Structure 1
Amino acid sequence: MKRPGPLLTLLAGLLLGLLTLTLDATAGARNSASSSQEKPPGPTPTSSTASPAPAPAPSASPAAPAPPSPSPSKIADASYAGRTDDDSSSVAVSVRDGRAIAYFCDGRSKESWLKGRVLPDGSMRLTGGHGAALNGTLQDGSRIRGAVDLDGGHYAFTARKAVKGSGLYRATATVRGAKVEGGWIVLADGRQVGIVDREGTPSSAPRIDPETGAVTVDGQPLTARPVLP
């Protein structure tokens, strides 16, 4: 009996090698499938070098509050007295707490009491009976420049700040059964202009004592007092 030849030995070796490779490939495929089933997919890996987070924008500094509006200057309480430009009449104005009362008088028969407000800029529009009006402006706190419209007449005037004893006075009373109302304007030089109205009938007023306001009307003593709004 003959021994197998070298060719058979070689073939047997090749077959054994192929079988070994086949078994290794099969085992690798199984291991790969098993690994893919056991490990769930994870998040996509990101680069280890992360971009730095942007710096927060600087917050705007709060706006400074607007400065408060200056309050209008207060009109000082005072009295003013003067003459019209044509020197026919006198005008007196008393100002208190932003209100004003005025008296226009020619010392014979024409008169009017007027009142209203004084605006912060010193301007004023005062009104009285029968459509009378006074428009004026306080200038430098020392005088009032304006005009009175009365009975179709236009009377420009300047009334200066009153000194002690001058200004606007008024008295009301019942004398001998009649209602009496008197108005007086005392000027800085001591002159007086006034009218006493007796039940609607005007006439020149007697002089008053500026120190006490004492006056006698139709034989009856009265007291004229400074006028305040």
Structure 2
Amino acid sequence: MNKIRLALAAAALTFVTSTAALAQAPLKIGYTSVEYVLSQMPESKQIESQLKTYSTQLENQLKSKYSDYQTKAEAYQKGASAMTEVVRADKEKELTGLQTSIQEFQRSADQSLQQKQQSLLKPALDKLQKTIDQVADENGYTYVLNSDGASPVLLHGPKDGDISDLVLKKMGITPGAAPTAAAAPATTTPASTPAVPTGGATKTKTKKK
């Protein structure tokens, strides 16, 4: 029992000593704008280009589905009055299915675009994190905060605490170019999906672009 008490006492003493040493150690806090640094990196243009290409592919697929819907919806409205009840119901069911397919594809495409962006950004963000770690170690920074976002971690700081340019120089990039928007996913919504005609009449008009 005495040995256990001595061990606990030693542990407590070590904790107090370490805490006191930490309290006496000077803290050097820096900050950086991740968006600014990313916008300066050559990877940013590559990511933006690849995202644009991928987004265009998704948009073209969505427009094709939408065009097919419009064609069939217009054909239904023109011939609905001459259709039997059974044929009319079948056409309305087909249009409802197409509308649902468009909406599901649109949701799936938006998620896919977000995932594509994250996948493309990961190597650049990993590179940025590694460089920030190196700059912080070389310049004695204890903490580095991010000054971006609607609710930034940093609300105020001295200019000499901004290590953004140091990070860029560490990556071999000359600072100074105006920051561009970070590679943001584009929307895949070309237009509103028209309502499906119901009730065996032609009251609902198809929306046209």
Common fold by TM > 0.5: no
TM superposition score normalised by structure 2: 0.21
TM superposition score normalised by structure 1: 0.20
Q: Which has the higher contact order (CA 8 A, sep 6+)?
A: 2
Higher helix share: 2
Higher strand share: 1
The structure having more radius of gyration, on CA atoms, is 1
